[in-house]
Structure 1
């Protein structure tokens, strides 16, 4: 069983527990469930947009602990003020140290910027959670979904007014992308070897239909890489570890964005 399989098995148990703990109708009574979503698509396409989707991530299976002392409100506010086009907040707790509460706090402190709920989404219940706790965008990972699952989840998200980011790792996974998807993200990290190459984005980007906004994810360490990917049609760049591994993630994000101008 690889790491992705382990994560999905843990996620199934977690969702079962959450459904027992918080009924879906209770989620629909949370005020943010009725909030109008902020559009990540619009933010990425806006004239002069940095394109940076700055991520709050405290640990990962590949890197271990990254920045356990970071406070989500401080970091996300600094990201926003630095000029990030959007925020990404990890809510997967067992392997990435995330939490639903981090999403809630990020939304409270940043009401007007698009926020991606970064998690392993496998159940429509999670779409309702995402909406209720303040997300504007949800992530679907093609590697852990069937074509029918992806369609069901993307449609459920759109019905709630959420935008859909579909993450792919290879050309075969493009077959899972459907018409309810808004953004296609290319993960530059090989799930089997954990090796990272921005050329993965360049090669797969050529195959992504023009109707989808393209973003690049993982291993983006410098402004030159962003400029290179922009020249290949990418509008968004999901960056977490590059910022989070520093003492001051917000300051690192600000310096990074300034170098893009």
Structure 2
């Protein structure tokens, strides 16, 4: 069993438990459920922003603890001031040390579009994402059947949320892309081996239809990576560990984006 298999298996148990605590009706009654989502596509493609989706991530299965002291609200404010086009907030607790409260905290201080980064395996998580103020969601092709990804994308769209579909290879891209998706993210990290190479994004670039915003994820550690990826049509760049591994992620983001 791969780490991805373990995460998905645990996620299904976790979601079942969350349903027992809060019903869909409870989620729909939260104040943020009626908030109009911010367009991630507009912010990421804006010439006035950096194109960077800056991530808040405490830990990961491959790296262990990345940052155990950073305060999410401070980091969120810093990312916005740095010029981030969007913010990614991990809400998986078991493997990444995140919670939905992290996203709520980021939402309270930052106007940028926020993605709920989690392993979505149930409709409930999408409704929950809307209820905590997320603007777009992540659908990971490796975790879903093509039918599931299209169904979840349709539900998200009906709630006003945009969708970032994450793929790792040609087969996932061909099988999962549909007209309900907004952004296509190529994860340069192999979720089975955790090896990283931006060559994955370069290889898949020409296969992504132009109507989708192209996002490169993972392994982006310098400005040269971004310049190279822009040549292949990428407009979004998800960066997490590069900022979070420092003592002050907000300052690291500001210093990095100044170079752009």
Task: Tell me if 1:162 matches 2:161.
Answer: yes
Tell me the residue number matched to 1:113. 112
Q: What SS class does the counterpart of residue 200 from structure 2 fall into?
A: helix
Q: What SS class does the counterpart of residue 243 from structure 1 fall into?
A: helix
Tell me the residue number matched to 1:8. 8
Q: Please give the TM-score of this superposition, normalised by the length of structure 2.
A: 0.98
Q: What SS class does the counterpart of residue 157 from structure 1 fall into?
A: helix
Tell me the residue number matched to 1:84. 84
Q: CA deviation at 1:190?
A: 1.5
| In 2, Cα distance between equivalents of 1:124 and 1:180 | 16
Q: Please give the TM-score of this superposition, normalised by the length of structure 1.
A: 0.98
Q: CA deviation at 1:177?
A: 1.5
Task: Tell me if 1:63 matches 2:68.
Answer: no
- CA offsets, 1:6-56, max 9 Å, x none? 000000000000000001101001111000101110001112320010000
Q: CA deviation at 1:224?
A: 0.6
CA contact (8 A) 2:4 2:192 kept: no
Gaps of 5+ in 1: none
Tell me the residue number matched to 1:96. 96
- CA offsets, 1:136-161, max 9 Å, x none? 00000000100110011000100000
Tell me the residue number matched to 2:172. 173
Stretch of structure 1 that moved more, 42-51 or 116-125: 42-51
Q: What SS class does the counterpart of residue 53 from structure 2 fall into?
A: strand
Tell me the residue number matched to 1:188. 188
State the number of aligned residues: 259
Runs of 4+ in 1 over 3 A off after TM superposition: none
| In 2, Cα distance between equivalents of 1:59 and 1:85 | 23
| In 2, Cα distance between equivalents of 1:237 and 1:77 | 19
Q: What SS class does the counterpart of residue 206 from structure 1 fall into?
A: helix
Tell me the residue number matched to 2:51. 51
Gaps of 5+ in 2: none
Cα RMSD after superposing both structures: 0.7
